[in-house]
Chain A
Amino acid sequence: MPITVAGKTFETDEEGYLANRTDWSEEVAKEMAKADNCDLSQNHWEVLNFLREYYEEYQIAPAVRVLTKAIGKKLGPDKGNSKYLYELFPYGPAKQACKYAGLPKPTGCV
């Protein structure tokens, strides 16, 4: 099921993750979120931007603890926990946030 953003169509896998990471744009993220009835706030973007930066450096999404620590530093210690991340991304921060950030889905026993 490809995703169409501003007239352009991008290939995705069965679960809606982008097939090519280079197809990503902020509009793609917004469109994906819209399909889940999720409005991307500034705090969502902090998470998505961090995921993309980390992926750029390490070719993998950050571990949940790495992510919560980074978000705690950016948004305040009360938000540096997975409970807060689940509020932002109720389908699971690792998977839902990776999808919006255009990253592949984390695999394995997670």
Chain B
Amino acid sequence: MADFETPVLGEYQVIPHLKRDTMAGSKPYVAKPDHQKALGFPVELVPDWENVAVKKLGELVAQSRALQVFLDSCVKCGACTDKCHYYLGTSDPKNMPVARQDLLRSVYRRYYTFAGKFFPKLVGARDMTKDVLDEWYTYFHQCSQCRRCSVFCPYGIDTAEISMAARDVMDAVGLGQKYSNEVIGKVHKIGNNLGLPGPALANTLEGLEEDVKDETGVDVKYPVDVKGAEVLLVTPSADFFAEPHVDGLIGYGKVFHQAGISWTLSSHASEAANFSMFIGSHSNLHRAAMRIREAALDLGVKRIVVGECGHAWRVAYSFWNTLIGPFDFLDQKYPIPQHICEFTHDLIQRGALKLDRSANDDKVVTFHDSCNVARASRMGNMPGGQFIIPREIIKATCNHFYDMAPETIGESTFCCGGGGGILTDELLDLRIKGAQPRMQALKQVVDEYGVNHVAAICAICKSQFTKVLPYYKFPMDMIGSVHGLVSKAIRLDAKN
């Protein structure tokens, strides 16, 4: 483990005293020319970038009434100031949501409001300068776009939208973030975040079939590119590659097997994630999502199910219809798209799965609500379904479940600290500190109920937990997939 100053967990969450500029040195690597080019962005800071940036900002505000309202309506009430996990974990006042917004709002005021044009000093308006751009690059990459602040803002101002706009402007002038842009480039070129080519995917899935056969004696299939399958499953490529993600993928396959529903993955759309959302790039968002529509049409499937990925579910649930719709070629009897948790929950309710809770008796489980599922989407046909359904699945697969404190779950959930394009090693210090509020809430249920397992439905959360748990003296394998629990509990080929 690299050496970082890890916040000390106390008895309860403390709102820290301000430490000005303590995170001023935290910034991600800058995208290389190749990464920029692949996404249609200038390869380096363009000449006259100040005017390009201001013009781009004006376009974004003109295109999005929401963005304009967010920039115009803040009254500095302060309700958001102690709601951001990065502020709570780092004490840097620029990580207060209002301060983060003001980094961009000050420029907007200068060029697009009457008062800012004529009396900039009176209204906190700033010229677009290199210092301002650098500050944007630093602090808009300390926002995981988790939207927790927006829940507490009386005007519903969404810092995520402002952070996306800032990143969009930065890309437009040639200052991109390496992590996100490299990943998006790989989706365009190869079809997934990892850059996992078709043959490697097939080899990996064959290996899983062997493993499941060894473990259960049952021939569970993990099919890819099967034309005429009922369901296309799109899932984050981390499910193929990483642990504990892969346990979730194994679980999905067992559920499909047990339900007797034919399904397939696609080597063309071997990624549910769409990092283009993190950088606010509509054109890249569209291009990456389009692979999924193409795959669904090409394979002739009737349904699309989305695996455990937080922001992918936001993109699918909230954007797909207008982005890559209409989906008139899919079976209209089922939700379009459908979350794997909805899919499994439905089968459980209908008694189609035989689950043995005692298989998870070694675990005392809690559930981490992932931001984009919690605050930017829904599941099922009831309000709050995105909170209820995963918990119902967990309770059907284990005997010991305890929620973390109510102000840290559901729509008030704390981010894992790695979302929104932050899950990169050079930001590890920020990630560790940003995880503090979640770790604090976790500690409470560990101490009180003996919780030893955190289930999640987001690939980023799972990787982030694996990395930061040890810094807080928790075991790294304490994090798991919800469908990892299903995988353990399911009794294959058993009849009810």
- Contact at A108–B204, with CB atoms within 8 Å? no
Within 8 A of A (CB), among B167-201: 179, 182-183, 186, 192-197, 199-200
| Least distance between B331 CB and chain A CB atoms (Å) | 30
Neighbouring B residues of A107 by C-beta, 8 Å = 179, 182-183, 186, 193-195
B459:A15 contact, CB within 8 angstroms? no
**Most chain A beta-carbon contacts within 10 A, residue among B183, B197, B211, B237:** B237
Residue pair A59, B207 in contact (C-beta under 8 Å): no
- B310 nearest in chain A by CB position: A109
**Would A94 and B2 count as touching, CB distance under 8 A?**
no
> Would A108 and B273 count as touching, CB distance under 8 A?
yes
**Whole-angstrom CA separation of A53 from B242 in the bound complex:** 19
Cβ of A38: which chain B residues have Cβ within 8 Å of it?
none
**A58-B199, A59-B197, A91-B2 in contact; A109/B246 too (CB < 8 A)?**
no
Do residues B207 and A69 form an inter-chain contact, with CB atoms below 8 A? yes
Interface string of A82-110 (1 = CB under 8 A from B): 11001000111011000000000011111
Interface size on A, residues (CB 8 A): 24
Q: Once the chains are docked, how many angstroms separate the CA of A90 from the CA of B273? A: 28
B426, CB-defined interface residue at 8 Å:
yes
Contact B182 A63 (CB under 8 A): no
Q: Contacts A15-B426, A63-B240, A66-B207 known; A108 to B246 CB distance under 8 Å?
A: no
* Residue B243 is within 8 A (CB to CB) of chain A in the complex: yes
CB distance from B19 to the nearest CB of A (A): 27
A106 touches B197 (CB 8 A): no
B292 close to chain A: CB less than 8 A: no
Q: B203 in the interface, Cβ–Cβ < 8 Å?
A: yes
Give residues 98-138 of B contacting A (CB, 8 Å): none
B253 contact set on A, CB distance < 8 A? none
Q: Of B200, B208, B463, which is in contact with the most chain A CB atoms at under 10 Å from its CB?
A: B200
**B494 close to A (CB within 8 Å):** no
Complex interface: chain A residues within 8 A of B241 (CB): 63-64, 94, 106, 108, 110
Q: A15-B426, A107-B195, A108-B273 are in contact. Are A65 and B238 (CB under 8 A)?
A: no
Decide if B246 touches A60 in the complex (CB within 8 Å). Answer: no
In whole angstroms, how far apart are the Cα atoms of A69 and B243 in the complex? 13
Q: Is the CB of B194 within 8 A of A106?
A: yes
- Closest beta carbon of chain B to A64's beta carbon, Å: 5
Q: Does B423 contact A (CB under 8 A)?
A: yes
User: A82-B243, A94-B242 in contact; A109/B193 too (CB < 8 A)?
Assistant: yes
Most buried by B among A15, A86, A91, A106: A106
**Nearest-CB distance from B341 to chain A (Å)?**
18
- Within 8 Å of chain A (Cβ to Cβ): is B460? yes
Contact of B426 among A14, A62, A83, A110 (CB under 8 A): A14
A108/B183 in contact, CB under 8 A: yes
Is the C-beta of B29 less than 8 angstroms from some C-beta in chain A?
A: yes
- The reply to whether B194 and A60 form a contact with Cβ atoms under 8 Å apart is yes
The distance from the CB of B252 to the nearest CB of chain A, in whole angstroms, is 15
Determine whether the beta carbon of A65 is less than 8 Å from that of B207. Answer: yes
Chain A contacts with B in 1-59, Cβ cutoff 8 A: 14-15, 58-59
CB distance from B272 to the nearest CB of A (A): 10
B220 CB to closest chain A CB, in angstroms?
Answer: 15
List the B side residues contacting A110 at CB < 8 Å.
194, 238, 241-242, 463
Asked if B361 is at the interface of the complex by the 8 Å CB criterion, the answer is no
In the complex, B21 has a CB within 8 A of chain A: no
Q: In the assembled complex, how far is the CB of residue B468 from the closest CB belonging to chain A, in whole angstroms?
A: 12
Across the interface, which residues of A come within 8 angstroms of B425, CB to CB?
A: 15, 95
Which residues of chain B are near A64, meaning CB under 8 Å?
241-243, 246
**Are A109 and B236 touching (Cβ within 8 A)?**
yes
Taken together as a complex, chains A and B put the C-alpha atoms of A108 and B273 apart, in Å, by: 9
Q: Is B1 an interface residue (CB 8 A)?
A: yes
Contact string against A for B residues 34-52, beta-carbon threshold 8 Å, 1 for contact and 0 otherwise: 0000000000000000000
The one of B196, B197, B207, B238 that contacts A109, using a Cβ cutoff of 8 Å: B238
Q: How far, in angstroms, from A34 to B195 measured CA to CA in the complex?
A: 29
Say how far A41's CB is from chain B's closest CB, in angstroms. Answer: 20
Pair B208/A109 contact, Cβ less than 8 Å? no
What would be 22 A-B contacts, judged by CB atoms less than 8 Å apart? A59-B197, A60-B196, A60-B200, A63-B242, A64-B242, A65-B211, A65-B243, A69-B211, A83-B477, A86-B476, A94-B241, A95-B425, A107-B179, A107-B182, A107-B186, A108-B192, A109-B236, A109-B238, A109-B245, A109-B309, A109-B462, A110-B242
Using a CB–CB cutoff of 8 Å, the interface residues on chain A facing chain B are 14-15, 58-60, 62-66, 69, 82-83, 86, 90-92, 94-95, 106-110
| A-B interface, 3 closest residue pairs, ranked by CB to CB distance from nearest | A108-B193, A109-B459, A58-B200
